Amino acid sequence: MKKILITGAGGGVGQHLRRELAGKYDIRISDIAPVRKNPGESFMKADVASMKDMLRITKGVDAFVHLGGYSVEGPWEDILDANIVGCYNAYEAARRNGVKRFLFATSNHAVGFYRRDEVIDHKVYIKPDSRYGVSKVFGEAMGSLYSDKYGMEVFCMRIGNVGTEPIDKRRLAIWISPRDLAQLVSIGIDSPKVRFEIVYGVSNNKRSWYDNRNAKRLGYKPQDNSERFAKAVLAREQAGDPRAEQFQGGAFVKAEQIENPTPVVQRHARSSK
């Protein structure tokens, strides 16, 4: 059984993923604050902004699922600390400790300034919609570097929105169910084809803006489709800001700061994007 590390394990994305992967891997979870362990998990407290901490938690793992970070648009200092410095620490600690497989939770916000009437694939030029989006582009670039320079196998997942169901019209396009996310992560951990890959973390949504053929090439077969929620979602949808409605990134294209779902010191990957 492979030993995997999940940072940001106390956040919404991490909690969904841990439930779905239980029993499939030997799971080490980490966060800056204590997290209640599920059966079969071990916990190590760590701050992604501390290289010392990251070196400690990456020892002896086969794959690293890096969810930890600042999860919304916010002050540059906070994003820099958690998502730039923290991301570098994650890759470098993994390299020093010989972790071969690295899964990076990037975001739809790395390409959020594409219009909603466009369908994009994994090869499009980056168009971040926020400082947060820029930090995710940085993480993708770090993955490319560490793959080419050090031979690390890197799997970048441009995650849309993780949850049991989509909550608005935009999320009908970008939603991913917990079981589809777990399938995608398992591909990232186990597929022998991974070198450096960018895929979209979305279910098989009828309204999707993404050509996800690279994920399908690696064996991804999403089981869920947001369309079964569409009638209820659209019935309660209200008109939004015209500029935000124009672009895939939604409110991120205008916002200078979005309320952080947790205190700054709790750098969790959340499902609120």
Active-site residue set: 132
Q: Report the C-alpha gap between 34 and 45 in whole angstroms.
A: 7
Cα distances (Å, whole numbers) of residue 220 to 85, 230, 238: 31, 23, 34
Select from 160, 38, 145, 26 the least CA-distant residue to 94: 145
Q: How many Cα atoms sit within 13 Å of 108 on the Cβ side? A: 32
Residue with tokens 């300034």: 113
Specify whether the CB–CB gap between 63 and 189 falls below 8 A. yes
As a whole number of angstroms, the distance between CA 35 and CA 43 comes to 7
User: Is the distance from CB of 218 to CB of 187 less than 8 angstroms?
Assistant: yes
